Structure 1
């Protein structure tokens, strides 16, 4: 059964400090689930959420996608993460025999749970993407979807930073990934796109003047937000016509800010694309999706 829950407010931390060295490792904090998975099929995103622990020790986990793809955003929050620091070296893993992924996530605040650790995008087998070759990067424009075979291997979501380890005992995630895959394909249909055509497509839209537009976006950090020390993760989606033209652009706040208004969609009006190609090689209407991270320092 699908349940839609109120969105949790999430704001990024503006304090960028290294995690202090711990004198000794704290005992690992292992938390069992206290709820079923809850699904939020929102108009522009798909969320899968669950809580862990009891009483004042409750923790929160969320997978989030804004379009089909092999990667998902990940947010965990709760008192176990109180001493975690933004952009500090953090190990992430999903099963006992896995070599931990080396990551540097943001921290922030999740309403009702306290300190949160935030990954813009991750996969079970490759972490957050550091060290990927371009051809191996998660494809944000066409399927494949989340890998349910990888999801079946998952035993937990474990984060370790500064001698502190927190493990949320999720169990296998194959069924959860199947739900997210179905939800993101439904998003395509909601946008007026042919989901079945995307499943067999040869390629998605190719952004031909990306370097120029990205430099413009990077150079235009909103001044009010910089003064306030605000950082943000935004999700951008553009609908690309059969001719490779940008028909529309949508920005969605993945984190909560007060002053940060990105110029990305205004600048994307001058973006150009090679159109998506279906199984027969014919151009067809599709989309391009990516994340924009504003980070001080």
Structure 2
């Protein structure tokens, strides 16, 4: 993940408890809706009725053991954006604390934008090229993100609710239902996407080392120079996700980006992908014979001021 003022990150983890507010429990108001496009796969479901209606969006832009999610609704209106919120996909996963970037989702109102079932650890990369290569091997061996692997459908089937709470100000719980089947459909969609880009299921069995981004710091600096002037003047911040197809020569063959936060004042006439296509350098992924192969690389750009 690229943090504009700081660079390459992976994402979070710590646990906490807090006093409970009066809980608002919202039941599904619709079935899961599959919004499967040419470049992304999305599940959408609404909860509650009328003034309490809240929407949950789960999205992936490539096969992954992780996902991005957005929850929006008036039930979040009491949140203090300057403080942490506890999050739990329960009972399967533990709670964690997260401070959300203030966001809005049109008619639904205030929005939380997050990633995955659990907290992620933010680390800054300062390792040398040789260490990067070993890191790539270690990550793959540990099963953190094997290419074309999907979300764990068995664990997803044991997720019954999504809760948010912040001291005595707010506690909202969405009763999810049918998560196993929903995630299975999402996995199929992202695998179909990868197939359309020239990858097949046998690819994950041939991969032994993931692609490693070698000049992420330099690229982040270049992107920072192109911080949209209107957004900078007005203090606007935003999150963007990117999917990069890395070729056998270590250059980006394709880059797609998605705005996570509906940020105002962001004139993206020159997107982070423009910089990546021109300047990003990778160690290509390797197959079982240590030969370079094409691969999918996912990251995020966080525009931050201060």
Alignment TM class, shorter chain as reference: 0.7 to 0.9
2:272 maps to 1:267: no
| Unaligned runs of at least 5 residues, structure 1 | 1-23
- Kindly indicate whether the alpha-carbon contact (under 8 Å) linking 1:84 and 1:107 is maintained by their aligned counterparts in 2: no
Partner of residue 91 from structure 1, selected from 62, 86, 90: 86
- Kindly indicate whether the alpha-carbon contact (under 8 Å) linking 1:231 and 1:296 is maintained by their aligned counterparts in 2: yes
Partner of residue 98 from structure 2, selected from 98, 103, 106: 103
Going from structure 1 to structure 2, the CA distance change for 1:278 and 1:176 (only over 3 Å counts) comes to farther
Cα RMSD (Å): 2.7
- Kindly indicate whether the alpha-carbon contact (under 8 Å) linking 2:103 and 2:262 is maintained by their aligned counterparts in 1: no
Going from structure 1 to structure 2, the CA distance change for 1:138 and 1:45 (only over 3 Å counts) comes to farther
- Kindly indicate whether the alpha-carbon contact (under 8 Å) linking 2:241 and 2:259 is maintained by their aligned counterparts in 1: yes
Matches of 1:147 and 1:272, distance apart in 2: 31
Matches of 2:101 and 2:171, distance apart in 1: 17
Partner of residue 127 from structure 1, selected from 95, 119, 134: 119
SS of residue matched to 1:150: helix
Aligned length in residues: 271
When the two structures are superposed, what TM-score results if normalisation uses the length of structure 1?
A: 0.81
Matches of 2:208 and 2:29, distance apart in 1: 43
SS of residue matched to 2:107: coil
Q: Displacement, 1:69? A: 1.2
2:246 maps to 1:251: no
Greater relative CO, 1 or 2 (CA 8 Å, sep 6+): 2
2:211 maps to 1:202: no
Matches of 1:89 and 1:50, distance apart in 2: 25
SS of residue matched to 2:102: strand
Q: What does residue 48 of structure 1 align with?
A: 43
Q: Displacement, 1:171? A: 3.1
Q: Displacement, 1:259? A: 2.8
The 5-angstrom pairing of residues 78-227 of structure 1 reads: 78-86=73-81, 88-96=83-91, 99-119=94-114, 121-122=115-116, 124=117, 126-130=118-122, 142-163=147-168, 164-171=170-177, 173-198=179-204, 200-227=206-233
Matches of 1:281 and 1:40, distance apart in 2: 38
> C-alpha deviations, 1:233-280, integer Å up to 9, x for none?
112222211222222322222332443425522322122112222344
